[in-house]
Amino acid sequence: MKFQEIKNNVFYCGLNDTERQIFDELIPLEHGTSYNSYLVKGSEKIAIIDTMYPPFTSEYIKNLKENGVNKVDYIIANHGEQDHSGSIPALLEEYPDAKVVTNATCKGNLMSMLFVPEEKIIVVKTDDEISLGNKTLKFILAPNVHWPDTMFTLIKEDNLLCTCDFLGAHYTFEDVFAVPSEELEKSAKRYYAEIMMPFRVMCKKYVQLIKDMKVDMILPSHGPVHKDPNYILDLYTDWTSDLGKNLVLLPYVSMYGSTEEMIDYLSNELNKKGINTLKYDIITGDLGDLAMSLIDGTTIVLGTSMVLAGPHPASVNIAYIASVLKPKAKFASFVGSYGWGGKLFDILGEILGKLRLDVIEPVQVKGKPTEETFKQLDTMVESIVERHKSVGLL
């Protein structure tokens, strides 16, 4: 495979993984993913920025050889996670004179996760530079987008910024340059939801930093290269904003239809009041869709049946996932139905409590919803309307 040139002797040397169906064993992938690696040929030295996921190491090194890469001086590790750093030991065997360039935090990760020898590592900090002759690599530490060890690498003379996982997408391609589309946007959003949303505040900061840098292109470590940096930066500006949309998320699990009836009623009544809703069947839904909706939702009403004396375990799982993804939602409540007794919402409230949401009075019913239940749901609707008005969404 001949490497595609991005600009002035900067080449894409990564690989597509079209078969991969799930990432982090958590969120399904709709389009596989790519593990991006960049070859930078300076007049005197050669650098590789980020490497390869271990199962693809042989193909990766074979491609480097076929493209005439017989010498590598620097391997830049922007991040220690193994989908990008996993091939470093093999590269060091193939190119024994190469040094690994990374930050102090990532150094520790490379040594403990991959046994990279300490003497092979050069530690850099923000604004440090290394020269490749007619090209200069400049480093910018960007902790917590998404690991504490993350950094960006600027190829200075070409004004190309390698942002590692930040601004990426689980997406595959033939041509490395992004072609904006609904599918690419959705993949980037799904990726942001799973990987970056817990670090929303840091993401917001780095979006502004990169906007101010006015780089020519963004080269992430998954998904296509952005020739138009504003395409992905504008999407991130929306996703990282402090206030969600006029949207209530309604994830639910319903064993005999009563909880679903309550969710349907809420959805209809909220819509009548001008509030958008998104129902999500926890059992059959795609977790990535829910994660994406958590980027936008301002209120979450979690619906659950009771199993034995507590909430359905599937609803507990969703509450936990929401609590770790740290969405920007401000308000929450619960609805549900039980058969013979127990505590329906206590565990859910405890888990979601980590998000410090303003909790609206929940509604539960024994068996099927009654006239009284619908009155209580009407009160919940009024409370949600008031809350959305209070933050300027209505």
Among 17, 165, 194, 261, binds ligand FEO (CB under 6 A): 165
> What residues numbered 281-310 form the site for ligand FEO, per CB under 6 A?
none
Strands 217-220 and 247-253: unpaired
Compose the 203-222 pattern: x for residues touching ligand FEO by CB under 6 A, - for all others. Answer: ------------------xx
3 state DSSP class of 191 = helix
* 226 in contact with ligand FEO (CB under 6 A): no
Question: Minimum CB separation from ligand FEO for residue 91, in Å?
Answer: 17
Cα→Cα distances 265→272, 378, 380, Å: 11, 9, 11
Give the nearest distance from C-beta 40 to ligand FEO in angstroms: 20
User: In this complex, which beta carbon is closest to ligand FEO, that of residue 17 or of residue 165?
Assistant: 165
Task: Give me 364's structure tokens.
Answer: 């539960």
Report the run of H or E that residue 11 belongs to, with start and end. strand 10-12
CB of 79 to ligand FEO, least distance (A): 6
Return the amino acid letter for 47: A
d(CA 266, CA 274): 12
Cα-based distances in Å from 344 to 276, 313, 334: 26, 11, 9
Site string (83-122) toward ligand FEO, x via CB under 6 A: xx--------------------------------------
Among residues 221 and 293, whose Cβ is nearest to ligand FEO?
221
Binding characters for ligand FEO, 136-155, by CB under 6 A (x = yes): ----------xx--------
Site pattern 71..90 for ligand FEO (x: CB under 6 A): --------x-x-xx------
Instruction: Report the C-alpha gap between 370 and 55 in whole angstroms.
Output: 57
Looking at the DSSP assignment, which residues form a beta bridge with residue 335?
Answer: 303, 363
Of 52 and 318, the one with the shorter C-beta distance to ligand FEO is 52
From the centroid of its chain, how far is CA 87? 23
Judge contact between 11 and 162, C-beta under 8 A: no
Nearer to ligand FEO, 17 or 83 (CB): 83
Give the integer Cα–Cα distance in Å for 312 and 29: 26
What residues make contact with ligand FEO under the rule CB under 6 A? 79, 81, 83-84, 146-147, 165, 221-222
